[in-house]
Amino acid sequence: MPLESESPLRGQRVVVVGGGIFGTMHAYFALAHGAEVVHLERDLVPAGASVRNFGLVWVSGRAEGRETELALRARELWENIGYDVPDIKFRANGSFTLLATEAEVEVAQRALARPGAARRGFDLMNRSEVLMRNPVIRGHFLAGLYCERDAAVESRLALAALRHAMIATGRYTYHAGREFVGLRDGAVVDHRGDVHAGDRVFICVGAYVSGFARELLESEPIRGVRLQMAETEPLADALTTSVANGDSFRYYPQFRTDALELLAEQESAAAHYAIQLLVQQRCHGGLTIGDTHEGDRPGVFDAPDRPMDIIFAAARQLVGPAMPRIERRWTGVYHQMDPARSDEVYLRRDVARGVTVVTGAGGRGMTLAPAIAEESFA
């Protein structure tokens, strides 16, 4: 934690609510600034979207402007954190968006022509060039849009690895099984009635909120988004990059306008569940595949098979016959700023003296969390 020697927070106390990636990064940066940190998590270990994701540090599709600036800074911070905490398994592996039609190639060509292409490390490669860089991909595609700045961490390992690193400082206390039920100036109250006071307090709750936390956020311009993902048995070979298909152009702001203009309509079932294909190989060899972008419907707990059938077929079309069988699948919900009501990248609100809510970057939270936490202590 290299900032500690110049820390303006040395000797102060910071309280963080929420053990997901936002809360964990706020705790990490508070410690780097020399503070003592008390960290509260509702569950014994975080179980929300922060562990139910690809672990992608995804720069390529971010909207030009503030979102891209945050993503590029976060990419730099993730790499630095990876040196300090190797167990997060940071990999600067880049990504390919594989293009199966001439229309998808044209979307990629337009992205290459934009001023920010070089900063993202974009390069349009033909099929032979893609196979030289990532020979495991043996399915159908014409070309690939490479993004050098995309990277990955192990989402199921990263939070625990960061907590272990923070415990080693001697200035970090982690309270599991403590639900946030109230706040005061400079303090929060947990469900046991314990008051946790600090010089600064950050509330970084995820989408699974209830009671007081739900009341606190109910008027904010955020929405829940439901995802479905799966993990396969180990693939025999190493997938050297992250992989997406051309449908992902529809769901990332850097490409969306051109995709809506140039691409044929998405197949109706895929469009209904707002499906794109992302593939990321885990360190044990299995592939995480997904995902969907359905609006969350409270009370709906079932996970229909149809979306995963579509996702698996798309993955097999790109990876080829060596595509392993699915071993496990899961759903999740994340909070995202509602684009119909706000153009903010994430939600930051002061809700009492010294108490700030930071949430709402869902779908890009794993990517942006270090840069957002850095902003909190700027």
**Distance separating alpha carbons of residues 330 and 228, to the nearest angstrom:** 6
Q: Enumerate domains of the chain plus CATH numbers.
A: 12-50+156-221+344-376 (3.50.50.60), 95-148+222-337 (3.30.9.10)
What SS3 string covers the chain? Answer: CCCHHHCCCCCCEEEEECCCHHHHHHHHHHHHCCCEEEEEECCCCCCCCCCCCCCEECCCCCCCCHHHHHHHHHHHHHHHHHHHCHHHCCECCCEEEEECCHHHHHHHHHHHCCCCHHHHCEEEEEHHHHHHHCCCCCCCCCEEEEECCCEECCHHHHHHHHHHHHHCCCCEEEEECCCEEEEECCEEEECCCCEEECCEEEECCCCCCCHHHHHHHCCCCEEEEEEEEEEECCCCCCCCCEEEEHHHHHHCHHHHHHHHHHCCCCCHHHHHCCCCCEEEECCCCCEEEECCCEECCCCCCCCCHHHHHHHHHHHHHHHCCCCCCEEEEEEEEEEEECCCCCCCCCEEEEEECCEEEEECECCCHHHHHHHHHHHHCC
Q: Are 145 and 95 in contact (CB under 8 A)?
A: no
d(CA 187, CA 200): 8
pLDDT of residue 299: 67
pLDDT at 347: 95
Token output for 362: 């869902």
pLDDT score of 304: 86
Question: What are the tokens at 228?
Answer: 């479905």
Cα four-point dihedral sign 262, 267, 268, 274? negative
- Give the integer Cα–Cα distance in Å for 270 and 153: 28
CB-based contacts of 239, cutoff 8 Å, min separation 6: 134, 136, 137, 279, 281, 287, 319
pLDDT (0 to 100) of residue 3: 52
With b meaning 16 or more CB within 10 Å and e meaning fewer, what string describes 84-101?
ebeebbbbebbbbbbbbe
Query: What pLDDT is stored for residue 363 in this prediction?
Result: 86
Residue 50 one-letter amino acid: S
Mean pLDDT by 10 residues, the chain (378 residues): 65 95 96 96 84 92 95 98 97 97 98 94 97 92 97 95 97 96 96 97 87 88 91 95 96 95 94 95 95 78 88 92 92 89 95 96 92 94
Report the pLDDT value the prediction gives residue 64, as an integer from 0 to 100: 94
